């Protein structure tokens, strides 16, 4: 499949994929068991905006208590940039509960699985659901798109959270084209 373009998930796709991976499914008589580990990984990618490799490198110790909040304290694998953003308490508790339920110590990597194994399971789930052009990276794009839409289309905020070097990269990343910008301006004209 040359030039396959990974798309951002819609809210419906996000929920459907996580649900089907958590519950399991059957294709042509073959049973795909529920996989809470993969579902948890994808939920974290969608809620923290991390690349899949950075999620796979997480330990509970990667999240530091800082007064009344928690913050992520990692070096991103792809960019070698330090990431110190706030981790909402609900997300921290979600991760901590996963670690407790699976007897994972705070200094140990939480998810002992390869990106390839995750992608394989995700592809099976997406094929079952009839979704195309979705990869693990779609969950990071979902994060970016949701932050953008839910924060008054603040591209600078999304750029900061994704740690892109400039907003033009972020615009391409979430699919804001020059034509869309021009159309938005044309549709905004309010001459009196």
Give the per-residue pLDDT at 55: 95
Segments of the chain scoring below 70 in pLDDT? 1-4, 80-81, 177-182, 192
111-163 pLDDT tens trace: 999 999 999 999 999 999 999 999 999 999 999 999 998 888 888 888 888 88
Give the per-residue pLDDT at 155: 87
Distance CA(5)–CA(8), nearest Å, equals 10
Q: What is the CATH number of domain 11-134?
A: 3.90.15.10
Q: How far is CA 40 from the centre of its chain?
A: 11
Break the chain into its structural domains and give their ranges.
11-134
Beta strands in the chain (DSSP E): 25-27, 30-32, 63-66, 69-72, 74-75, 82-83, 86-87
Q: How far is CA 143 from CA 73, 84, 148, in A?
A: 19, 17, 9
Give the per-residue pLDDT at 158: 87
52 close to 114: Cβ distance less than 8 angstroms:
no
Q: How far is CA 73 from CA 17, 69, 168, in A?
A: 29, 13, 26
Q: What is the pTM of this model?
A: 0.85
176's tokens: 């804001």
SS3 content of the chain, % helix, strand, coil (to 5): 55, 10, 35
Give the per-residue pLDDT at 45: 95
Distance CA(14)–CA(129), nearest Å, equals 11
Distance CA(133)–CA(140), nearest Å, equals 14
| Residue whose token pair is 């990692």 | 74
Give the per-residue pLDDT at 182: 65
DSSP secondary structure letter of residue 67: T
Give the per-residue pLDDT at 175: 77
């Amino acid at each position: 499949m040359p030039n396959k373009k990974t798309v951002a998930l819609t809210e419906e796709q996000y929920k459907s994929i996580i649900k089907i991976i958590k519950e399991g499914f059957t294709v042509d008589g073959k049973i795909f068991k529920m996989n809470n580990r993969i579902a948890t990984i994808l939920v974290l990618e969608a809620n923290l905006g991390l690349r899949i490799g950075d999620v796979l490198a997480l330990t509970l110790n990667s999240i530091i208590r800082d007064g009344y909040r928690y913050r992520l304290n990692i070096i991103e694998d792809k960019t070698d940039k330090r990431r110190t953003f706030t981790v909402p308490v609900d997300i921290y508790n979600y991760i901590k509960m996963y670690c407790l339920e699976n007897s994972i110590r705070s200094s140990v990597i939480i998810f002992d699985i390869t990106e390839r194994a995750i992608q394989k399971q995700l592809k099976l789930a997406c094929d079952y659901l009839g979704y195309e052009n979705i990869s693990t990276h779609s969950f990071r794009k979902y994060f970016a798109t949701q932050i953008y839409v839910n924060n008054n289309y603040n591209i600078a905020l999304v750029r900061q959270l994704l740690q892109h070097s400039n907003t033009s990269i972020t615009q391409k990343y979430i699919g804001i084209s020059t034509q869309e910008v021009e159309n938005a301006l044309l549709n905004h004209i309010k001459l009196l």
